[in-house]
Amino acid sequence: MSRIVLKAILGVLMRVLFRPKVEGAERVPGDGPVILAGNHVTFVDSLFVALIVKRPVYFIGKDEYVTGKGLKGRLMAWFFRTSGMIPVDRDGGHGGVAALMTGRRVLEEGKMFAIYPEGTRSPDGRLYRGRTGVARLALMTGAAVVPFAMIGTDKVQPGGKGRLHIAPVTVRFGEPLDFSRYDGMERDRYVLRALTDEVMSEVMRLSGQEYVDMYATKARAA
């Protein structure tokens, strides 16, 4: 009930303020396990996806978003959990494994899981090399992968923080990718790399971003 109320209220505000344009929404399956795989340009990307897609969408977020103290901390925890965020400690040595197993559990329950294969927000608006977790999840669970692109959210929240700005937003979904022909090959690193590159190629086509064959974390560190 909390999710329905939150989505209704924020959905109205979002449509009034940002008037997002949605393309290809009919390509998102209405049931069964689905992986939404897209680009990541700013913090509010997940909120736009969660509000636009009709089905509940789950995604990974830092546990610090739900561990704050006081009234503000409790309100933030309620907001993020209600929005579909599953908190995971991603800073530890096993953060990547924890995120992968969380996504697997969500998908095996027949739900929808959103993932950003780049692993972090783009440091400069370009599209970076995808990490193979998206392919591993698809092969472990048999879920279809729906590529999507966020366009304009970097203008809504420049730099990924601070107050929001009014700007046009487009969310574009591609055709579902079926990797069932690779069943049982989730440990083959060449297959994982090839499938991940296929997903990122579709995201690049949808978003129109320049592609950089480097991990975003390395680019950010540099």
Q: Enumerate the domain spans of the chain.
A: 19-53+94-220
Residue ranges in the chain modelled with pLDDT below 50? none
pLDDT of residue 72: 67
pLDDT of residue 50: 87
The strand pairing partners of 61, in sequence order, are 87
Do 135 and 196 touch, CB atoms closer than 8 A?
yes
pLDDT of residue 204: 98
Do 176 and 145 touch, CB atoms closer than 8 A?
yes
pLDDT of residue 65: 65
**Cα Rg for the chain, rounded, in angstroms?**
17
- Residue 122 has a CB neighbour count (10 Å cut-off) of 21
Question: Using CA atoms, how far apart are residues 154 and 48, in angstroms rounded to an integer?
Answer: 12
pTM of this structure: 0.89
Could you give the 3-state DSSP secondary structure of residue 129? coil
